[in-house]
Amino acid sequence: MRLIGLDYGSRTVGVAATDALGLTVQPLGTLWRKEEGQLRKTLRRIEEIAAERKAEAFVVGYPVNMDGSAGERAGKAAAFAKTLKRRTGLPVYLMDERLTTVEADGILEETGKDPEERKSVIDQVAACLILEDYIGAGGTGACEIKE
């Protein structure tokens, strides 16, 4: 299954995708916006990427707190996922993404990237990790957005 992984943040969205067989994951980039609420261009670009990649579903990182509770960021990610489902008609799954940004930063640090370089790619690496976790778990642990 062709999947698009998204790490939704207040001003960025990291984007990753699987190959045609859904076995490997590649980072596709980071979408930047000036303000959190300005999603029109971001959603349009995600739709374009999904069409180009012939995506069959989205996996959006769900940033729950360490105790498993859903805080403000998780609510915003869920609202984004609902909007994405409405706009595309494709299935959208929320996947627990606790510590993916920390893990992504560690991976990038190991490669020798300086902090400024890491900042420019950390969200797309986090999107890869979210997608890899989803694939590795066989989709279990993810919650499908229903409308």
Percentage, residues of the chain above pLDDT 70? 90
Give the CA-trace dihedral at 34, 40, 44, 49, to 10 degrees.
Answer: 40
Q: Which is nearest to 101 in space by CA: 119, 123, 116? A: 123
Q: What is the pLDDT of residue 102?
A: 65
Segment among 54-68, 76-90, 106-120 with least mean pLDDT: 106-120
Q: What percent of the chain has pLDDT over 90?
A: 49
- Confidence at residue 147, expressed as pLDDT on a 0 to 100 scale: 66
Taking only the tens place, the pLDDT of each residue in 21-79 is 888 999 999 999 988 778 999 999 999 999 999 999 999 999 887 777 777 888 899 99
The pLDDT score that the predictor gives to residue 116 is 73
Strand order across the beta sheet in which 57-62 lies: 25-32, 12-18, 3-8, 57-62, 92-96, 142-144
Question: What is the Cα–Cα distance from 19 to 91, expressed in whole angstroms?
Answer: 18
Task: Reply yes or no on domain 3-144 having CATH 3.30.420.140.
Answer: yes
Token pair of 145 as six digits: 């957005």
pLDDT at 9 over 80: yes
The stretch 104-116 carries a mean pLDDT of 72
Please report the pLDDT score of residue 23 as a whole number: 86
Q: What mean pLDDT do residues 77-85 have?
A: 95
Can you give the length of the chain in residues?
Answer: 147
